[in-house]
Amino acid sequence: MTAPLTPPPPPHEPSSHDAWPSPAGHTGAAAAPHDVAYGQDGPGMKTELREAAVIAVAVTVAGALLGLLWVWLAPNVPLVGDLADGQWVVYFKDTEGEQAIGVDGTFTLLALACGAVSALAVFVWRRRGGVPLAVALAVGGFLGSLLAWRLGVWLGPASDVIAHARSAGKGVTFSAPLKLGAKGALLAWPLAASLVHLGLTALFGPRDPDPYEPYGTPPKDGYGAPLA
């Protein structure tokens, strides 16, 4: 008779020390994305809204500088006063001149420059994008354009051309009041600010982490082989 076969030893049971290690607690393992203090996720909505309000106010106040530059750099539209049947009439000295178009063009170019500068300043300060910042730049740029327009009209030549012609005298050339004929120029600042800030964020802003990038040491089974 043959001896009974000895049963094989039972498989090695993994101990509690071989359990899957926690990525956050394992030595040398990187912390999970949600365990890291805001880096890629931003400082929080309340902070972003507060910063957006500050940006909107600052950009709006900067519209005063645009208004001063407009008054200084815009070309003068020459007018001439004359008497006709005892009444004062005013007409353009140069009927084919393009000074009126130059007034609108000067405002538009200055607004585009202000939009680019404000977007660059906000990006250098925050170094990231975000909907609140974009909205703040657009709203502040539009309000700043409105402030510049009204300030330029107020600081420019007198708006009462008849009184101005009467004080200047018959046949004497004087400057027409500043007038923004193309109201679409008020959108130049917010459009430029939004586009420049979007471009800077896309080129130099922080990148979102790869959601599929592994972190930590992969767990292993009781035999030391990595689990699928």
Instruction: Tell me the Cα Rg of the chain.
Output: 35
Q: What is the pLDDT of residues 97-126, one digit of tens each?
A: 788 899 999 999 999 999 999 999 999 988
Alpha helical stretches, state H, the chain = 45-61, 63-73, 99-126, 131-155, 161-168, 188-204
CA nearest to 95, candidates 71, 83, 74, 77: 77
What is the distance between the alpha carbons of residues 117 and 200, in angstroms, rounded to a whole number?
Answer: 12
CA angle 21, 24, 25 (to 5 degrees): 60
Instruction: Say what the pTM is.
Output: 0.69
CA nearest to 137, candidates 191, 178, 79: 191
Q: In Å, how far are 16, 108, 142, 185 from 112, measured between CA atoms?
A: 66, 6, 12, 9
Per-residue pLDDT of the chain (228 residues; tens, 9 = 90+): 455 555 555 555 544 444 444 444 444 444 444 343 344 445 578 888 898 999 999 999 999 999 999 999 999 888 888 887 778 888 778 777 788 899 999 999 999 999 999 999 999 988 776 788 889 999 999 999 999 999 999 999 888 888 888 888 887 888 889 999 999 999 999 999 999 999 988 888 776 565 555 555 556 666 666 665
Provide the residue type at 45 as one letter: M
Q: What is the pLDDT of residues 157-188, one digit of tens each?
A: 888 888 888 888 887 888 889 999 999 999 99
Structure tokens at 111: 């607004």
